[in-house]
Every structure is written in C-alpha cells, then in structure tokens.
Amino acid sequence: MTQTAFPRFTRIAGTGSYLPPRRLTNAQLAAQLAEQGVETSDQWIVERTGIRARHFADDGVVCSDLALHAARHALEAAGRQAGEIDLIIVATSTPDMVFPSTACLLQQKLGIAGCPAFDVQAVCSGFVYALTVADSMIRTGAASRALVIGSEVFSRILDFTDRTTCVLFGDGAGAVVLEASDAPGILATDLHADGRHVGILCTPGTVAGGKVLGDPLLKMDGQAVFKLAVRVLEESARAVLDKAGRQDSDIDWLIPHQANIRIMQGTAKKLKLPLEKLVVTVDEHGNTSAASIPLALDHAVRSGQVKRGDTVMLEGVGGGFTWGAVLLDL
C-alpha cells in the first residue's frame, strides 16, 4: 500500500459484540459446582467480584465463531463490507488451534483474502495491545481500515474444582472497525509488560509430542493480581492523559477491563471520576479477558450511554504481566 502523508489519525467507525446464548447465573453455576463437591454461592461471588452471571460457549463453538458474529455486527455498524477491510487483528488467549492464527481463520469465515491477519496474545490486555498496533499501522499508512477483535472461550481452560477462579470468567467477543481519518480519534496509547510476575496469573501448559505438558488450566494469585492491577492501571491512565495533553476531568467514560468491580471502582476513584462515569458489564459478563473491553464498549454505545464525541479511557491489565491504556475521542 502506498504510504500516506501525515497527519493521519485513527477513528472508531463501528462497534460490535457477541455473547454465546448459554447464560449461567451464580446460583446455576453454584448448583453445578456443588455436584462436584465445590461450595460457593451467589452472595460469595457478588461480594468479592460484582459478578452475577456469565455466558459459556456450547461444545464445538470456537473462538473464531464468536469473533465472526462480533465482526459482522461491527461491520454493519460502520456501514462497511468485509471486503473493505485491509487489516485483521484478533486478541485472544484461547485460539482455535496452535496455528494458523484465529485471525486467519476469521478471515476465511468472512470470505476475504489478501490483507494481513494475525493474533495478539496479551491476555486481558490483548484488546488494548491490538488497538495500539492497528492504530500505529493506520497512522503510518500500512492500513486504512482495520477490524480489531477481542474473542475468548475461557470456559475451556477453567479448573472447576477451584472456586476462586472458575466463577470469575466467561466467554464472548467484541469488535471495532477502525478507519483512517484527518481528525483525531485515538489520542494516545500506553503499553507495558513485566515478565517477573508471570506466576501470579497463567495457564502453564503446552503441547509437545502429541501430549499436554504441564497444567492446561488457569492459575491465579488473586491478591497479588489485585494489588498490582490497581497500581498499574492508574499509572497507565495518567501516562495517556499526559501524552494527549488532557486532564482527569476530560474523561467522559472509563471503560476498564471487566475483571472485578473493586479494581474498577478503585481505578475510577484514583482518577477522581464519579462512579457514574464507569462503564460496568462485569456483573452480566464476568471476566471475558481480551473480549471484555470491546464488549463493554459496544454495550455502552448501543445503549446510548456512550455517544459520538465523548472522550473515553480504555484500560486493560492481564497475565504476563501486561497492562496498558488507550485514550480516544469517539
């Protein structure tokens, strides 16, 4: 593609999302766990996380299937056809297979070919990472119209004998269509990682010689994650505000990774934002990892909560340990 003269910016042209039909309330999940001798309750889950329900994909439904639904909804909202897309990035930690990428599988399902397609693996920060990569490619003229998706089937890697983790996660997908613009949309981004914290949130399994080596189920030190998350989310938020020349008071909406209501509210308070400016979907979706931010964004846009022209802060934090933020004018 011919390189484009500057200035060149990136704007969100449309959003979309998809949740598998199977919805499990805390009470329903607790009843299933009780059959395996694992005790929990709606009250226990709500008090610690704010989660009341989550969605699980049916057997045979894979990450690219969820991504396809979300992608179609985003394309429709943007008024675009799949053939107009010249970049596909899928953020996921639960791909369909070892390779090829879920993005390539999605490309095939969309019926298009030729444009670059690849996955980004930064766990719950994945969508923020993917958005940042796509923004950079659009700004430099390497792409003009991108489909960026977060899609997860975390139910496949949960240990349903561990009540501290299996009640937290759900499945889903969220997507945005990004387009080159002569007016600023994405104002600033900020990404970080610290591999010293690998052990506090991981799925330490791999495939070798036709066998699974290690443990293929999610492990988490909840207290360690909580302490680190609250600190780095504030730091990253302030970094993008500084880069964009904006203040806390300029934020109309905060859409953080939907992991735990306490972390989310703690971040809002540190940014001196009223809780009314916090977009919350964790109660109905649970933690959908890389899908959580685009799911929440699409929900807020379609409900009329977030409107064109609003300034939005997106923040993610996840295993790796990874974290980052994006400030944008919708």
Give the torsion sign (CA, 261, 196, 159, 19): positive
H/E element, 26: helix 26-34
Which residues carry out catalysis?
124, 257, 287
Q: What is the DSSP letter of 114?
A: S
Which residue's structure tokens are 């009843």?
Answer: 31
| Beta carbons of 118 and 95 less than 8 angstroms apart | no
If we measure between CA atoms, which residue out of 141, 76, 60, 70 comes closest to residue 103? 70
Query: For residue 296, what are its two tokens?
Result: 């929440």
Identity of residue 318: G
CA 90/CA 103 separation, integer angstroms: 5
Q: What is the DSSP letter of 210?
A: T
State the CB neighbour count (10 A cutoff) for residue 181. Answer: 16
Say how many residues make up the chain: 330
**56: helix, strand or coil:** coil
| Beta carbons of 315 and 324 less than 8 angstroms apart | yes
State the CB neighbour count (10 A cutoff) for residue 225. Answer: 21
